[in-house]
Amino acid sequence: MKWYLGIADIHAGSSHGPIPPEYLAPEMRMSDKPAQWADSVVDVFNEGRRAARDFWGELDTLAARLPEIDAAFVLSDNIEGRQAKSGGEGLIHNNSQSQVKIAVRILDHILKGAGYPPVYGVRGTGYHVTENGGRECDDEVYDQTKNMQAYDDVLFVEAGGLVWRLDHNIGRSGTPYGKSTPLSKVQIFNTLKSSIDEEHEANVCLHGHVHYCVSSGFPMSNKIGYTLPALKMRGESYGRKFNDFYDAGMMLFRQEDDGEPVVPVPLRIETGHSLPPLHKLGE
Ligand SMILES: [Fe+2]
Ligand SMILES: [Fe+2]
């Protein structure tokens, strides 16, 4: 039996990404009460810290439970970037060099739990992982990742008698928060491109970017595609709009024998999902 691990959308540096304990400030306490508003601000900050600590704790638990992994696939958005459009207020570090360090630390923590398997990666969304002037932060992350085998914009890997196609991006869909049609398109185009030697014919197509997990495939042809869940928790406007379709965690794939189709095993992280209040007229 073989095991494969898919990791996507870590967004290191975001206050909603995994934050290693040494990067998380301790809780603030106010001894006297200078003003009620100050207390409430501290409460909000502390609540954020507790959520981040819980998120890391859950990731830590998953990493410790991982089986021995045969190959790990990193689908990028490894760092958050500077959030230039929104002013960077959702960041714990706005320096991309620091974010690269944090991403390397997070990946190492997971990969250690996986037994340091061979790692393959792709580059992510330019807005997150590059800087003006073209500096490729993903490359810096991968160059410091233990047992890194290869990375590219789109990468083809042969493992377990299957060809894996890794690509951060995925096309637009007419279905809100669904990617079944774009995933099918990738597989059809891949089949066409393989007939003119532009691509290797792929059995498993993995994508990141959307922060929710869907699949679509052609079982009789041993072809399947997935968008992977993210390692960034729900909580800001980007996550909020996905509501129940937002998935935090990683994806394990189990394979009985070489050449056999893989079976997905979701590694879910709960991200503070709660029932909203029901406002009743007259109360
Ligand atoms: Fe992302
Ligand atoms: Fe992305």
This model's pTM is above 0.75: yes
Question: What is the spatial distance between Cα 32 and Cα 29, in angstroms, rounded to a whole number?
Answer: 9
Distance 89 CA to ligand 2 centre (A): 19
User: For 6-33, what is each residue's pLDDT tens digit?
Assistant: 999 999 999 889 999 999 888 877 666 6
- Phi and psi at residue 165, to the nearest 5°: -110, 120
Q: What is the DSSP letter of 25?
A: P
Q: What is the pLDDT of residues 65-115, one digit of tens each?
A: 999 999 999 999 999 998 887 788 788 888 999 999 999 999 999 999 999
Amino acid 47: pLDDT: 83
User: Nearest ligand to the C-alpha of residue 239?
Assistant: 1
Nearest ligand, CA of residue 127? 2
Calculate what percentage of the chain has a pLDDT beyond 90: 69
Say which residue the tokens 């390397």 belong to.
Answer: 104
- Report whether pLDDT(199) > 70: yes
| pLDDT value of residue 8 | 98
- The Cα–Cα gap between 28 and 62 comes to 29
Distance 200 CA to ligand 1 centre (A): 26
Mean confidence (pLDDT) of the chain: 90
Query: Cα-flanking dihedrals φ and ψ of residue 121, to 5°?
Result: -145, 165
Cα(279) to centroid(ligand 1), Å: 34
Give the residue carrying structure tokens 């185009």: 189
Q: Report the pLDDT averaged over residues 168-193.
A: 93
64 CA distance to ligand 1 middle (Å): 24
Closest ligand to the CA of 129 = 2
Rounded to the nearest angstrom, the distance between the alpha carbon of 210 and the centre of ligand 2 is: 7
* Each residue's pLDDT tens digit, 220-273: 999 999 999 999 987 665 555 556 678 899 999 999 999 999 999 999 997 655
Domain segments of the chain as ranges: 2-17+69-271
pLDDT for the residue numbered 28? 78
> HSE on the CB side for 144, CA within 13 Å?
15
Q: How far is the CA of 25 from the centre of ligand 1 (A)?
A: 24
On whether the 2-17+69-271 domain is CATH 3.60.20.10, my answer is: no
pLDDT computed for residue 243 by the predictor: 61
**How close is the Cα of 41 to the center of ligand 1, in Å?**
29
**Distance (Å, whole) CA 15 – CA 93:** 9
pLDDT at residue 160 is higher than 90: yes
Calculate the CA 196 to chain-centre distance. 32
pLDDT greater than 90 at residue 120: yes
Could you tell me the end-to-end alpha-carbon distance of the chain, in angstroms, rounded to an integer? 59
Supply the pLDDT for residue 46: 81
pLDDT of residue 27: 82
Task: For residue 208, report the distance from its CA to the centre of ligand 1, in Å.
Answer: 7
What was the pLDDT predicted at 134?
A: 78
Q: Which ligand is nearest to the CA of 9?
A: 1
Q: How far apart are CA 128 and CA 135, in angstroms?
A: 11
